[in-house]
Amino acid sequence: MALPLRPLTRGLASAAKGGHGGAGGPPPQDRRAHPAPSAARTWRLLTFVLALPSVALCTFNSYLHSGHRPRPEFRPYQHLRIRTKPYPWGDGNHTLFHNSHVNPLPTGYEHP
Amino acid sequence: MLDVEAQEPPKGKWSTPPFDPRFPSQNQIRNCYQNFLDYHRCLKTRTRRGKSTQPCEYYFRVYHSLCPISWVESWNEQIKNGIFAGKI
């Protein structure tokens, strides 16, 4: 692999310290010609090669799974949508992140 | 079927439910509920197959002995309204 993974598996505690240690470094005789890569370079590499592509892949995956589904029919079950005391916000009947398309109130869905 | 009015208690006296090793402790709530479910499941499958529901009377007797009447009434009400939460 192009990534210098073996030094990474040894743990990057030294990278956390902020100093050198992100990717091992060249053998001693080369140190004047090739200065040791810093920890910042390692993390920047990881961000652009691993983290951001993963985010893009996961976004694409959620897009593929998106779309309207038929919502379940409403049944006034007594163990759900319990209101022993009104919520301290709004009209006291809507949950904090109420979504009227998919969340019914205790009496039923709001939109037909 | 599952409508409450069609279910009549069996005739005669019946004795206390026998020891059920699935529920050995003092708390018999689960025993009550399990027999209630079993009675209704038994009714449902027997009537679906057109057989006599006489064997289901055992479960009826057990849950009537064990369950608080208010629970039985509220469950029957929920079954009638289609909002009973158990799997029957």
**Residue by residue, what is the 3-state secondary structure of chain A?**
CCCCHHHHHCCCHHHHCCCECCCCCCCHHHCCCCCCCEHHHHHHHHHHHHHHHHHHHHHHHHHHCCCCCCCCCCCCCCCCCCCCCCCCCCCCCCCCCCCCCCCCECCECCCC
Which residues share a beta bridge with A107? none
Question: How far is residue B48's CA from residue A36's CA, in Å, rounded to a whole number?
Answer: 79
Q: Write down the pLDDT at residue A8.
A: 53
Interface predicted TM-score (ipTM): 0.74
Q: Identify whether B49 is part of a domain.
A: yes
Test mutation, A73, A74, A78, chain B, max B CBs within 10 A: A78
Q: Identify whether B14 is part of a domain.
A: no
Q: Check whether A10 has a pLDDT greater than 60.
A: no
Q: Write down the pLDDT at residue A25.
A: 58
Q: Write down the pLDDT at residue A35.
A: 72
Amino acid at A94: H
How far, in whole angstroms, is CA A25 from its chain's centroid? 31
| A24 Cβ contact list (under 8 Å, min separation 6) | A4, A6, A7
In CATH, what number is assigned to the domain containing residue B54? 1.10.10.140
Evaluated on CA atoms B75, B81, B86, B88, the torsion sign reads: positive
Q: Identify whether B73 is part of a domain.
A: yes
| Cβ-Cβ contacts under 8 Å, A79 against chain B | 85
With tokens 């039985």, the residue in question is B72
| Cβ-Cβ contacts under 8 Å, B81 against chain A | 76
Q: Identify whether B10 is part of a domain.
A: no
Q: What is the pLDDT along chain B (88 residues), one digit of tens a residue?
A: 555 555 667 677 788 999 999 999 999 999 999 999 999 999 999 999 999 999 999 999 999 999 999 999 999 999 999 999 999 9
Q: Check whether A1 has a pLDDT greater than 60.
A: no
Write the pLDDT tens digit of every residue in A77-95: 999 999 999 999 999 999 9
Distance from CA of A75 to the nearest CA of B (A): 6
The answer to whether A76 contacts B78, with C-beta atoms less than 8 Å apart, is no
pLDDT grade, residue A23 (50/70/90)? Answer: low
Q: What is the CB-side half-sphere exposure of residue B13 using CA atoms within 13 A?
A: 2
Q: Identify whether B81 is part of a domain.
A: yes
Distance from CA of B83 to the nearest CA of A (A): 5
CB atoms within 10 A of CB B27: 8
Q: Write down the pLDDT at residue B13.
A: 78
CB A4 within 8 A of CB A24: yes
Residue B25 tokens read as 């402790």
Q: Identify whether B70 is part of a domain.
A: yes
Evaluated on CA atoms B35, B33, B76, B40, the torsion sign reads: negative
CB pairs under 8 A between A and B: 10
Q: How many separate domains does chain B show?
A: 1
Q: Identify whether B47 is part of a domain.
A: yes
Q: Write down the pLDDT at residue A37.
A: 79
Q: What range defines the domain where residue B84 resides?
A: 28-88
Mean pLDDT of A25-52: 83
Q: Identify whether B18 is part of a domain.
A: no
Least confident of A28-32, A40-44, B67-71: A28-32
Question: How far is residue A34's CA from residue A78's CA, in Å, rounded to a whole number?
Answer: 71
